[in-house]
Chain A
């Protein structure tokens, strides 16, 4: 390890290590392994006797099976049982080893005998027979297959098929179209005909509670909910007559007539009329706006817009304008940061990168950007809440950073958006309907490399930071955020598939026409939104989304049961929205300090009120004052913003790294304990309701207890034992999902372990050939 010269690489180095340890494929012909296909899914190519690598240093645990490429996914089908994986949540759409084609970031084929490798791109030739296939996934997985015993030609064909089908030439070739047409509009098969907008027939599902904001009534309800009486729904963009990337319905100041708006629209980038996002109970509004193209018109138009917003404010207060392009990192910066973070998290060799871990995280600048977004949003929160002025978010196109900042502001200010249904509606309102370019930013068609940017993930990370700082303020868990992030890569949901609502409508109409599908009442094809979680998970698995600590509205049902002691929920939603004095009212029983009474300890109360860095900044003072009091979880939430407060989201970024997995540890062990307790509370509440309702013990045959919790309290003992399968990666498992080649010390490692794999694919491809 010290000054000894490294051994010269010999030809042998390139042979797969530990030949003797390799498990042989089953000699008898395996029973038929069939891929599980969804409606509309077809097998394109397949190859048998493939070995999926499980560990990077030994092949002992490798699995033998068949590798199948369909028009939706890569599927590996095996009879072998994976050891060490005791629990995984199950997706209805994907098997344990499946990778949706839209989730593929890069395909690398290797022939170690010929010392060749190549990054596969659609419609390219492959001049060697691959012995190995490595799939780099957008969700940070790295999956490896070996073809040592497989037919060389079929292996090659499968690789080429994967490359081809993962880079569809056209949007309508994404599997979602085929799938949705088959599931919902196949006239021959009425059985599967479910309304894609809704869930089942039972109680109102989360999906049904989530307004999509594609109807005027959704906006109307939001106006009423926020008390924005001086704002109205505008429908001049019906049929996308004004702007192609605005939604059909949006909200504008009442003082602006449709005629004015039509006239204004031509001066804005993308014909985007300024959009209302949200109203504070003090009357100040949050508005987003694209830039004004015409310099001549700029001042005049600016004044008109601001005047109209001022007129919609009860105090006729000023308007504060925030130029997001100037105050935040660009989408390219964010993409670069993300690439570097991925490099550090899953590509760099684990042990070697340990020593420089902290500085490589810093160098990626990801956490800096997270902090920057939170900080900017917090400052605008101060404008709305503290200064009581309306705020305009201005961005060149109003389709990227505006989505992120406006949603963050609303999460901080409005507890409604911290419930699951509320959060989903927020994403629908500020991202999907506002025209965030999911298609381009996700690069689903692999055609817009320069447009690719993980803005949505950055937003989820910001929300995660808030969730960590205020664990009882959100109805959802970090698992929910992670699964939501993963759902970006399933090309089935309307939510993440299109650049704007108009694009969806247009493509659906075209597709319906070209396939002469009858959609009934002349509606175009409708994709289910991702909010229909029953498409992906069972009820039981969906319970992983529910935060046992949440003290939101769920607590109000207790109050019917005459339990009024739940202190933090006293100030509920209406209070915080009606009047800013809620901050003072937020001064409740200070659980923060209670356990520390009588203490003999040197202790400083968390108190912001005298931080010196910016003594003159009124926003600082506002934050100081807010932080000097206990937080009202159903009121305003502000992020804590010291660099030491911003953490790496380990569940998302490190869940596939086997070395990082803590067995029987991690936050989930606390989550388990809390879930069990929350479940007990639910059971008691149910019992209480039963007794009260019936007034007799004959109601004592308790109906099956419907739990919100994934982990349930056992009826028999007070302490439910912790399941042994819990790990810090739960509910995910790194086993077989991060399998880098162990090629340390060989020239190949330069390619496979180095930065090149992610940064310059072209160079690599040309080098390899």
Chain B
């Protein structure tokens, strides 16, 4: 913890120097400071202090503060950044193996653009050059912005700096590795240790007499996209599991995700059954689902939530998939949740980006937003999760959740339902466990959905599934401002490093791949960083009402566009959580008052003790209530 303390003190110094810089900059109406993405870490402490101690620090800062093992690749002068908000900005562009760094030329005004290469989705040479002999490039980014640059064409025929960026930004396409493998920062806490599956199941009281832990997937032989540790009904032997696996898409058999501490109702996840056009049945699968139902004595029913719209589920039959027929599965009720597939979601986000970036059309903001259907999709996902949570909590019924493969919509639904049901997941560490468990180990294909370092931007496998999940969580935090230990900034940080490729957390597609790649040894976990700077990510209003189930109101009346994320590049959109800041000020004030009161008390006690002894009884009485505040 010593390390983090030193960075704290650094932080406070920084913030004071920052003030000075703003002060000095405010005189110029063209000034601007974008201090995005600066790693204030221990290793670069001394140079930073030196540089930032100066009031003109940003103007003096020619090059980015390099991260450990970050290296300069190219520096080009006289590049123009064509900013949609401010117009042309001339400056120097620096490219490293991790980022693109642009700095305005003029000394008196600071403008800095600091973009990790990982967020770049594609680079296009743009037509219509600004003036003769200039070429321009557009960098389309995954984090809802586009960056447009222009520079003079080189007469010597050297390639543009953006050709270099293209290589560096898409290392995977060039048989290279993303920067996470090189980043060598050491943090006080090792985030790879955040999730220990057996500890997490133990927290839920598992295994128990109805649920056992199986080692059948120890070498990923049963299912290569599942984790090693699986919880299955106690009375189903491993042999049967293999037969069940043959009937489930990608062998993703139904396994337990969560169990209700009182009713023993469970949340179980899997992929679609391989029913096919002929309506194939599997006695093993039917028996297996019956066993899941039997494991919960409270209910004689089992709910199967198919995340897809029923039409899509039917269409899947032609490809060998399908859904559970109620004839085959006695006592089971099938519900379709009408959540659309990854392609629809990708298209919706594309439209959303058009509406929010760069500028918002003033007169039709809400109807434009409506036409993207983004919030409608968010609503359907939340509504599905709410139905699941309600079935488990109020209906005391076990639920089985699947979509087609069980790694996109299923992950959204199980994790959101668990977030509503279990207050543990609403803590910072609990939420990390939830992501590790339901998303990472259960094989949400992050590499494919995000396309880390891959130039193939039009890949049909890309989709903002995880972004939607985080958006849903943000919606929950809006409705329950005191129910989450973390703040909005925490969620934004997760999304930023979903793309940045600085940490190993979101690399690869499955647990098996991650182990094969040795991510834990070769890369740093995002949780290492976050848990070492916890203070920044905490919600001061958090109330731990541990056994409280959240029932959000899933209505367009309450759903809002997450402006703090989607519109944050617009300088008119202020990024702030004002209530949190006010509350923190009040906390400081209380602490100070407490100190004062205690000092006075001590003083008075010592005085009265020395002066008189007959009134000895009364002081103790008055002291006690004060100490209860502490």
Q: Is A37 an interface residue (CB 8 A)?
A: no
Q: Would you give the shortest CB distance from A612 to chain B, in whole angstroms? A: 6
Q: Is A589 an interface residue (CB 8 A)?
A: yes
What residues on A are CB-neighbors of B608 within 8 Å?
A: 696-697
Contact A670 B493 (CB under 8 A): no
Contact B37 A677 (CB under 8 A): no
* 1/0 contact string of B540-578 vs chain A (CB within 8 Å): 010101001011110111101101000111111111101
Q: Is B592 an interface residue (CB 8 A)?
A: yes
Q: Is A229 an interface residue (CB 8 A)?
A: no
Known: A563-B596, A593-B18, A595-B535. A674 touches B11 (CB 8 A): no
Q: Would you give the shortest CB distance from A588 to chain B, in whole angstroms? A: 9
* 1/0 contact string of B29-69 vs chain A (CB within 8 Å): 11111111111100000000000000000000000000000
Q: Return the contact of A669 from the options B29, B481, B600 (Cβ within 8 A).
A: B481
What residues on A are CB-neighbors of B604 within 8 Å?
A: 691, 695-697
Query: Which B residues between 296 and 338 are near A, CB-CB below 8 angstroms?
Result: none
Contact A601 B37 (CB under 8 A): yes
Query: Which B residues between 71 and 122 are near A, CB-CB below 8 angstroms?
Result: 83-87, 114-116, 119
What residues on B are CB-neighbors of A627 within 8 Å?
A: 572, 574
Contact A642 B586 (CB under 8 A): no
| Docked CA distance A599–B39 (Å) | 6
| Docked CA distance A624–B574 (Å) | 12
Contact B545 A722 (CB under 8 A): yes
What residues on B are CB-neighbors of A691 within 8 Å?
A: 597, 600-601, 604
Q: Return the contact of B571 from the options A568, A603, A610 (Cβ within 8 A).
A: A610
Contact A697 B622 (CB under 8 A): yes
Contact A681 B593 (CB under 8 A): yes
Query: Which A residues between 650 and 687 are near B, CB-CB below 8 angstroms?
Result: 650, 654, 657, 659-667, 669-670, 672-674, 677-678, 680-681, 683-685, 687
* 1/0 contact string of B583-614 vs chain A (CB within 8 Å): 11111111011101100110011011000000
Contact B543 A719 (CB under 8 A): yes
Category for how many chain A residues contact B: 35 or more
| Docked CA distance A621–B28 (Å) | 11
Known: A563-B596, A688-B600. A602 touches B496 (CB 8 A): yes
| Docked CA distance A663–B479 (Å) | 10
What residues on B are CB-neighbors of A650 within 8 Å?
A: 557-558
Contact A600 B18 (CB under 8 A): no
Query: Which A residues between 572 and 611 are near B, CB-CB below 8 angstroms?
Result: 584, 587, 589-611
| Docked CA distance A469–B37 (Å) | 26
Contact A606 B35 (CB under 8 A): no
Q: Residue of B at shortest CB range from A654?
A: B557
| Docked CA distance A181–B31 (Å) | 65
What residues on B are CB-neighbors of A350 within 8 Å?
A: 555
Q: Would you give the shortest CB distance from A565 to chain B, in whole angstroms? A: 5
What residues on A are CB-neighbors of B572 within 8 Å?
A: 608, 611, 627, 640-642
Contact B86 A597 (CB under 8 A): no
Category for how many chain B residues contact A: 35 or more
Give the interface segment out of A265-273, A293-301, A698-706: A698-706
Q: Residue of B at shortest CB range from A692?
A: B600
Q: Return the contact of A660 from the options B541, B553, B592, B607 (Cβ within 8 A).
A: B553
Contact B586 A549 (CB under 8 A): yes
| Docked CA distance A471–B12 (Å) | 25
Known: A628-B22, A644-B561. A591 touches B585 (CB 8 A): yes
Contact A598 B26 (CB under 8 A): no
Known: A600-B529, A621-B29. A565 touches B15 (CB 8 A): no
Query: Which A residues between 346 and 368 are near B, CB-CB below 8 angstroms?
Result: 350, 354-359, 361-363, 367-368
Q: Return the contact of A563 from the options B26, B548, B593 (Cβ within 8 A).
A: B593
What residues on B are CB-neighbors of A608 within 8 Å?
A: 571-572
Contact A549 B555 (CB under 8 A): no
| Docked CA distance A568–B567 (Å) | 28
Contact B479 A601 (CB under 8 A): no
| Docked CA distance A629–B26 (Å) | 8
Give the interface segment out of B272-280, B358-366, B430-438: B358-366
Known: A359-B366, A698-B618. A598 touches B590 (CB 8 A): no
Q: Is A264 an interface residue (CB 8 A)?
A: no
Q: Residue of B at shortest CB range from A561?
A: B596
| Docked CA distance A701–B625 (Å) | 11
What residues on A are CB-neighbors of B579 within 8 Å?
A: 471, 549, 670, 674
Q: Is A521 an interface residue (CB 8 A)?
A: no
Q: Would you give the shortest CB distance from A352 to chain B, in whole angstroms? A: 12
| Docked CA distance A696–B611 (Å) | 11
Q: Would you give the shortest CB distance from A45 to chain B, in whole angstroms? A: 38
Contact A657 B15 (CB under 8 A): no
Q: Is A257 an interface residue (CB 8 A)?
A: no
| Docked CA distance A629–B24 (Å) | 12
Contact A674 B541 (CB under 8 A): yes
| Docked CA distance A699–B363 (Å) | 63
What residues on A are CB-neighbors of B116 within 8 Å?
A: 602
What residues on A are CB-neighbors of B375 within 8 Å?
A: 358
Q: Is A87 an interface residue (CB 8 A)?
A: no
Known: A562-B596, A565-B589, A599-B536. A587 touches B11 (CB 8 A): no
| Docked CA distance A700–B437 (Å) | 54
Q: Would you give the shortest CB distance from A249 to chain B, in whole angstroms? A: 39
Give the interface segment out of A59-67, A170-178, A445-453, A710-718: A710-718
Query: Which B residues between 367 and 396 are near A, CB-CB below 8 angstroms?
Result: 367, 369-370, 375-376, 379
| Docked CA distance A462–B578 (Å) | 18
Can you offer 29 A-B residue contacts whose CB atoms are under 8 A?
A: A357-B556, A549-B579, A561-B593, A563-B596, A592-B576, A595-B489, A595-B536, A600-B493, A603-B568, A603-B575, A604-B36, A604-B569, A604-B575, A605-B35, A607-B571, A613-B359, A641-B572, A662-B551, A665-B550, A669-B482, A669-B483, A669-B543, A670-B482, A680-B590, A688-B593, A688-B600, A696-B607, A697-B604, A715-B628
Q: Closest 6 interchain pairs by CB?
A: A700-B622, A610-B86, A643-B365, A597-B11, A357-B556, A362-B366
Binding site for B on A (CB under 8 A): 350, 354-359, 361-363, 367-368, 469-472, 548-549, 551, 558, 561-563, 565-568, 584, 587, 589-613, 615, 621, 624-625, 627-629, 640-645, 647, 650, 654, 657, 659-667, 669-670, 672-674, 677-678, 680-681, 683-685, 687-688, 691-692, 695-702, 715-719, 721-722, 728
